């Protein structure tokens, strides 16, 4: 069997579908190359002196790990000079990063969570990078935060990498979801699964159960029904998995189905939720929908939300369609009964 590299895959997509422009192809290749560097740094672990805290707090109010900072720098440096971007925005930076004047500018905006699940690094559990590509609004040469505030339906590409037992890149440009595995000897991403599909039904869920007492009533009820298993209203047993790296939890769902929830809870209510709309929720929602799954904030399709701020947080419900529809319906019925 001929192995298909990411480069070949993108060139063939560009020829057959035309939705991938040369600049978008360059952008995806540059992000993939940066992710190889991140993968290398993570792989060296303690030997590379990259574990532990950076000693700073980011705009999210979270303590940064050395690898959060390093991954952010790797992605910035890789993407600055290619001429394909107008600006970048990252979970780890207060404001958008403009392309320095010495380089040409392109028409795309790149948004990323450089390292997702970074609390897991020091215990050697899978982490990842999440990214999303938007178009820079026409006529804008110096993009500011408001130019990034586009609904998720406007994304032209999204993807994530998982730095796990193997390094994977999972990508969509709007025509299905495809998986590439890093061949460490050759140094390139190779297509290993085409057209990932999430089954409509599942018996596996992912949620941080320690927040149970802080959830809203419909969430409490939905999970309670799952926990009651065969003897309860659902009439079957459910299994629970929670890696606490969104990339790893979403990748399990991409592989064998399941649902992932980070619902609203009393602790994060004031902030709107835990996960970030632009860096985490929207790219994952795009990928999940492209794989036949569903993604909501518990009430509304995530991709249709109009972002109000760069670092906005939202509740996230995604995965196997029938479960996501069910839990979303329960939230809407709860709201309707209260009015
Ligand atoms: P990040 O490391 O980018 O801040 O994201 C962490 C996120 C996500 O990966 C994960 O699903 C969730 O936070 C874990 O939350 P808990 O701490 O509640 O387990
Ligand atoms: Mn994250
Ligand atoms: Mn992060």
Q: Is the pLDDT of residue 16 over 90?
A: no
Query: Is 165 a member of any domain?
Result: yes
Identify whether residues 140 and 262 lie together within a single domain: no
Query: Is 198 a member of any domain?
Result: no
CATH number for position 260: 3.40.190.80
User: Which atom of ligand 1 is the closest one to the Cα of 116?
Assistant: 3
| Ligand 1 near 300 CB (within 6 A) | no
In the structure, ligand 3 is a single-atom ion and the residues with CB under 5 Å from it are 91, 113, 115-116
Q: Is the pLDDT of residue 1 over 80?
A: no
Q: Please state the rounded mean pLDDT for residues 97-104.
A: 95
Task: Please give the pLDDT value at position 213.
Answer: 97
Give the model's confidence band at 151: pLDDT under 50 very low, under 70 low, under 90 confident, else very high. Answer: very high
Its domain, for residue 138, covers 6-193
Query: Is 199 a member of any domain?
Result: no
User: Contact, 6 vs 27, CB < 8 A?
Assistant: no
What pLDDT digit, counting tens, does each position of 288-297 carry? 999 999 999 9
Domains: count for the chain: 2
Q: Is the pLDDT of residue 273 over 90?
A: yes
Q: Is the pLDDT of residue 18 over 80?
A: no
Name the residue of 120, 252, 274 whose CB sits within 8 Å of the most ligand 1 atoms, as the mutation to test its pocket.
274
Identify whether residues 169 and 32 lie together within a single domain: yes
Identify whether residues 62 and 108 lie together within a single domain: yes
What pLDDT digit, counting tens, does each position of 286-338 carry? 999 999 999 999 999 999 999 999 999 999 999 999 999 999 999 999 999 98
The pLDDT > 70 percentage for the chain reads 100
Last residue of a domain, one of 163, 193, 223: 193
Name the residue of 245, 283, 311 whose CB sits within 8 Å of the most ligand 1 atoms, as the mutation to test its pocket.
245
137 CA → ligand 1 middle, Å: 31
Give the model's confidence band at 173: pLDDT under 50 very low, under 70 low, under 90 confident, else very high. Answer: very high
| Ligand 1 near 245 CB (within 6 A) | yes
Identify whether residues 146 and 213 lie together within a single domain: no
Query: Is 268 a member of any domain?
Result: yes
| Ligand 1 near 113 CB (within 6 A) | yes
Measured from the Cβ of residue 171, the count of other Cβ atoms closer than 10 Å reads 26
What pLDDT digit, counting tens, does each position of 48-71 carry? 888 999 888 988 888 889 999 999
Task: Please give the pLDDT value at position 17.
Answer: 76
Measured from the Cβ of residue 210, the count of other Cβ atoms closer than 10 Å reads 8
């Amino acid at each position: 069997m001929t192995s298909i590299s990411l480069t070949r895959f993108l060139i063939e997509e560009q020829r057959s579908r035309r939705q991938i422009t040369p600049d978008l192809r360059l952008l995806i290749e540059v992000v993939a190359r940066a992710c190889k560097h991140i993968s290398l740094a993570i792989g060296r672990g303690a030997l590379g002196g990259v574990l532990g805290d950076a000693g700073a707090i980011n705009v999210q109010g979270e303590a940064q790990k050395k690898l959060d900072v390093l991954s952010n720098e790797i992605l910035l440096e890789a993407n600055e000079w290619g001429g394909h971007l107008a600006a970048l925005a990252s979970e780890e930076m207060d404001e958008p990063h403009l392309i320095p004047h010495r380089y040409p500018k392109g028409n795309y905006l790149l948004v990323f969570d450089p390292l997702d699940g970074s609390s897991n690094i020091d215990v050697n559990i899978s982490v990842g990078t999440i990214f999303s590509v938007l178009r820079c609004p026409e006529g804008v040469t110096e993009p500011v935060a408001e130019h990034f505030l586009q609904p998720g339906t406007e994304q032209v590409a999204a993807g994530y990498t998982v730095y796990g037992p193997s390094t994977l890149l999972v990508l969509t440009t709007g025509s299905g979801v495809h998986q590439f595995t890093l061949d460490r000897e050759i140094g390139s991403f190779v297509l290993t699964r085409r057209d990932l599909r999430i089954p409509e039904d599942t018996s596996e869920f992912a949620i941080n159960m320690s927040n149970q007492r802080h959830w809203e009533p419909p969430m409490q009820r939905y999970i309670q029904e799952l926990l009651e298993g065969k003897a309860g209203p659902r009439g079957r047993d459910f299994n629970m998995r929670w890696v606490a790296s969104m990339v790893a939890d979403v990748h399990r769902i991409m592989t064998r189905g399941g649902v992932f929830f980070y619902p609203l809870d009393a602790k994060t209510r004031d902030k709107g939720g835990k996960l970030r709309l632009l860096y985490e929720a929207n790219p994952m929602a795009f990928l999940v929908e492209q794989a036949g799954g569903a993604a909501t904030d518990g009430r509304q399709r995530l991709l249709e939300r109009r972002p109000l701020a760069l670092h906005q947080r939202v509740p996230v419900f995604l995965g196997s369609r029938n479960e996501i529809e069910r839990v979303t319906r329960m939230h809407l019925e709860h709201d309707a009964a209260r009015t």
